[in-house]
A and B are shown apart, each in its own frame.
Chain A
Amino acid sequence: MSREVLVKKSDIVKYYLRKIIIAGLVTIAVTWVALPFIMTIIYALSDPDQYYDPHIVIPTRYTLEHIHKLIVLGAWNATINSVIVAVLTILFSFAIGLPAGYAFARYAFKGKDSLKLFIVALRMFPMMVIAVPLLVLYFKLGLADTLLGIALAHTAMALPFVILITSGIIAGVPVEYEEAGLVFGLNRIGAFFRITLPLALPGLAAAAIFTFIMSWNEVFIAAVLSFQNRTLPAFILNLIGGATDFIKFAGAFIMVIPALVFVFVAGKYLVRMWGITLK
C-alpha cells in the first residue's frame, strides 16, 4: 500500500532560498576578512606603472621587486629577529605563567581572587608611560637594543594573559586524572608532565599562538627599545614613513605571511589534538 505524498512547491523554494541567503551572508563575511589581505598581496606584487595607472584596478603584471628591495634593506634580518623575540617571549611567559596558572587552577589560597585581579590590572599601565623609564633601566642593565630585552618586555605584556588562560585550561582538566596519576605511582611533577600537560596541550598551543601573534605585531616597545636589532614591525615602521605605496604593501605582506603560516600550522595541530582529547 502506498500513500500519495504531496510536495508543496513553496517548501522547495523556501529550502533553496534559505540556502542562498546563508551562502550570501558567508560570502560577505569572508570578503570582509579576506579582501584587505588579497589587496595587500596584489599591490605588494604589482608593477609600479600599473599601480599608478588610474584605469587599472587589478594589475596584470606582477613583480617581486618591492619585496626584494625590502629584503635588501634588512627585512630578512628583522624577520629572524621577530621570530627569535616571539619564541623567547613564548618560552619566558610560559616558564613563569604556566606554574602560576597551575597554582590558580589547583590550589585554594588566601587572596587568590585579588591576586588574579591584580595580574589583570597590570595591563592597565599604558606602555607609553613605561617605555622611557624602561629604556633607561635597559641601558643600565645592558639590555637596550637586544632581542632579549624586547622579549622580556613582551613577556611582561603577555604574562597576565598567559597566566589567566593557562589557569582556565588547567582547571578544565579534571583533577581526578592527576590524582589517579598520584595513586598509580607518579609524584606531583610527574603527574603534571605525564597526565595534565598532554591533556592541556591543545589549549596551551592556542595560548602560545596568541602570545606569538602579540609579540609579532607589537611595534611600540620594540621600536623604543631597539635601534639596530629591530624586529620586523619596528623595522617596517622605521622604513615606510617616506616610502612609496607598494613598499608599504610589501611591508604589510611580509608582516602577514609568517604569522599566517604559523597560525595555519599550529591551528591544524590544535584541531587534531582537540579531536583526540575532547571527544
Chain B
Amino acid sequence: MFMGDTYMVDVHLRGVVKRFGKTIALRGIDLDINDGEFVVLLGPSGCGKTTTLRIIAGLEKPTKGKVIFGNRDVTYLPPRERNISMVFQSYAVWPHMTVYDNIAFPLKIKKVPKEEIDKRVKWAAELLQISELLNRYPHQLSGGQRQRVAVARAIVVEPQVLLMDEPLSNLDALLRVKMRSEIKKLQRRIKVTTIYVTHDQVEAMTMGDRIAVMNAGKIMQVGTPWEIYNKPANVFVAGFIGSPQMNFIDVTIEEAQDGVNLVSSDFTIKLPQEYISLLKDYVGKTMILGIRPEHMYPLGYVPANLQKKDKIKGVVDFVEALGSDTIIHLNTGSKIIVVKTSGTYRPKIGEELEIVIDLDKIHLFDKNTEKAII
C-alpha cells in the first residue's frame, strides 16, 4: 500500500546542457522517462550522470534546455516545489536528529498533522525494517541502516519522482546485493517514477526497466537491459556493458564466394551469404568486430543448437579460474582474445585451442563513427 492518493509523473529532459565555468558537463541530454518507470543512468565517473540527476532535482540549473514533469516545465522551480525526493550517495541523514525525526522532517515542513506523521513514519520504518531504530541517532547506526533511513525519508513524502544517487556504493558487497533487490521490490510496490544513478553495470542491469548509458556528457544509448546487452548501439556501450569486456578486433571486409570474410591480422572469420547486403558499403574497408567472451566456446563446450559458427585458433596465454567460470586469455598471434567458459574447463597455459564463435552474437561497428552496423 502506498498511502494517500498519489499520481505519478513522467519526466522529460529536452536539450539539457550544463557548463561549469569552461568545462562542459552535459552536451545536450534528451531523455523521456515514463510514469512509474525505473530508469538507471549508467556511466563511468565524470560522465555527467550525477549532474543530470541534480538538474532533475533542481539542485543545479541547466545552462540550456528544459526539465519537464508531466505537463509542467520545472526548470526554474526550486527543489522543494518539485515534489521529488532524493537518496544521496552519502545518505545525508541529518546527524543532529533521531531516525524518527529524520524521517518525519519532510512531513513536518509540509505541516502534515501529527498523527498522520506518526502513521506515515511508522509505515515507512516498517517497510524498510528499521522500526526498532527510530529513537537512535545516526551515529549509532551502521552504514546499511543509515541507508535504509535515507530511503525511508525519501518515500515517506510520497514523491512524484524518486531520485537515487549511487545509494549502494558505500555498502559492502553482500549488503549491496540484498539492498538491490529490496529497492527494486519497493519501487514496484509504490510504483514511483525512479531515476537511479550508478556506475555499476550489474546494478543497472538488475534494477532498471530501462538504462540510459552515458559518456562524456552525452547519452550513448537508452534501452532495456536486454537491448543494451544484446544490441549495443556503439562501441562505447558494447565495451562498457559486460564482464569481462567485449573483444574488439579490427577486421577488413572482403567479399568471398557465398559469403563475407572478416579478415584480421590473425584470423579470418567467414559470415554467411545474408550478410552481404548489410555490409556491401564496407567491402574493402576496416570495421571493428566485437565478440563477447561468453559467446565463444572451446571445443567440447559448444552448445548443440548453435546455428552459424566459425572457428579461430590460438594459444592459451593466461587462465583466470573464478570457480563458476574460467576466463581464458587466448593469444591468436598479435592479439589477446578473452573467452569466458565453464568453470569445469581448465586449459593449461601454452596449450593450443580451437574456439568456436557464435556468429549470431557478433557485432560490427563502423570504424569512424563507432556506431553499430550489425
A residues with CB within 8 A of B: 174, 176-177, 179-187, 190, 195, 198-199, 276-277, 279
In the complex, what residues of A have CB within 8 A of residue B234's CB?
A: none
The 10 closest A-B pairs by CB, nearest first: A185-B109, A184-B106, A279-B139, A176-B92, A180-B92, A182-B79, A183-B86, A183-B79, A185-B80, A198-B96
Flag if A183 contacts B80 (CB, 8 Å). yes
Contact sample, A vs B, 29 pairs, CB 8 Å cutoff: A174-B92, A176-B90, A177-B92, A177-B95, A179-B59, A179-B79, A179-B86, A179-B92, A180-B86, A180-B88, A180-B94, A182-B58, A182-B59, A182-B78, A183-B59, A183-B85, A183-B86, A184-B80, A184-B105, A184-B153, A185-B157, A186-B109, A199-B95, A199-B96, A276-B95, A276-B96, A277-B96, A279-B137, A279-B139
How distant is the Cα of A198 from the Cα of B137 in the complex, in angstroms? 15
In the complex, what residues of B have CB within 8 A of residue A179's CB?
A: 59, 79, 86, 88, 92
How distant is the Cα of A240 from the Cα of B78 in the complex, in angstroms? 62
Contacts known (A187-B78, A276-B137); A174 close to B90, Cβ less than 8 A: yes
Chain A CB within 10 Å — which of B78, B80, B86 has the most?
A: B80
In the complex, what residues of A have CB within 8 A of residue B153's CB?
A: 184
Chain A CB within 10 Å — which of B57, B59, B153 has the most?
A: B59
In the complex, what residues of B have CB within 8 A of residue A184's CB?
A: 80, 85, 105-106, 109, 153, 157
- Closest CB-CB distance, A14 to chain B, in whole Å? 38
In the complex, what residues of A have CB within 8 A of residue B157's CB?
A: 184-185
- Which residues, 273 to 298 on B, are CB-close (under 8 Å) to A? none
How distant is the Cα of A185 from the Cα of B154 in the complex, in angstroms? 12
In the complex, what residues of B have CB within 8 A of residue A276's CB?
A: 95-96, 137, 139
Nearest B residue to A198 via CB reads: B96
Nearest A residue to B21 via CB reads: A108
In the complex, what residues of A have CB within 8 A of residue B137's CB?
A: 276, 279
B89-122 interface mask toward A, CB cutoff 8 Å, 1 = contact, 0 = none? 1101011100000000110011000000000000
Main SS class of interface, A: helix
How distant is the Cα of A53 from the Cα of B122 in the complex, in angstroms? 77
- Which residues, 64 to 90 on B, are CB-close (under 8 Å) to A? 78-80, 84-86, 88-90
How distant is the Cα of A184 from the Cα of B92 in the complex, in angstroms? 12
Contacts known (A183-B57, A185-B106, A185-B109); A177 close to B78, Cβ less than 8 A: no
How distant is the Cα of A174 from the Cα of B96 in the complex, in angstroms? 13
In the complex, what residues of A have CB within 8 A of residue B78's CB?
A: 182, 187
Nearest A residue to B93 via CB reads: A180
In the complex, what residues of B have CB within 8 A of residue A177's CB?
A: 92, 94-95
Flag if B94 contacts A195 (CB, 8 Å). yes
Chain A CB within 10 Å — which of B57, B92, B139, B157 has the most?
A: B92
How distant is the Cα of A185 from the Cα of B78 in the complex, in angstroms? 9
Flag if A183 contacts B96 (CB, 8 Å). no
In the complex, what residues of A have CB within 8 A of residue B79's CB?
A: 179, 182-183
How distant is the Cα of A100 from the Cα of B94 in the complex, in angstroms? 24
Chain B CB within 10 Å — which of A174, A183, A199, A279 has the most?
A: A183
- Closest CB-CB distance, A180 to chain B, in whole Å? 4
How distant is the Cα of A25 from the Cα of B75 in the complex, in angstroms? 64
- Closest CB-CB distance, A1 to chain B, in whole Å? 39
In the complex, what residues of A have CB within 8 A of residue B90's CB?
A: 174, 176
- Closest CB-CB distance, B258 to chain A, in whole Å? 62
In the complex, what residues of A have CB within 8 A of residue B58's CB?
A: 182-183
**A187 CB contact (under 8 Å) in B80, B86, B89, B96:** B80
Nearest B residue to A188 via CB reads: B78
In the complex, what residues of B have CB within 8 A of residue A190's CB?
A: 109
- Closest CB-CB distance, A219 to chain B, in whole Å? 39
How distant is the Cα of A180 from the Cα of B95 in the complex, in angstroms? 12
- Closest CB-CB distance, B109 to chain A, in whole Å? 4
How distant is the Cα of A187 from the Cα of B79 in the complex, in angstroms? 9
In the complex, what residues of B have CB within 8 A of residue A182's CB?
A: 58-59, 78-80
How distant is the Cα of A279 from the Cα of B146 in the complex, in angstroms? 14
How distant is the Cα of A257 from the Cα of B295 in the complex, in angstroms? 82
In the complex, what residues of B have CB within 8 A of residue A186's CB?
A: 80, 109
A177-B94, A180-B92, A276-B139 known; 20 new pairs, CB 8 Å cut-off, are: A174-B92, A176-B90, A176-B92, A177-B95, A179-B86, A180-B88, A182-B58, A182-B80, A183-B58, A183-B59, A183-B86, A184-B106, A184-B153, A185-B80, A185-B109, A186-B109, A187-B80, A190-B109, A199-B94, A277-B95
- Closest CB-CB distance, A223 to chain B, in whole Å? 43
How distant is the Cα of A181 from the Cα of B102 in the complex, in angstroms? 10
How distant is the Cα of A277 from the Cα of B106 in the complex, in angstroms? 21
- Closest CB-CB distance, B51 to chain A, in whole Å? 13
Nearest A residue to B156 via CB reads: A184
In the complex, what residues of B have CB within 8 A of residue A181's CB?
A: 94
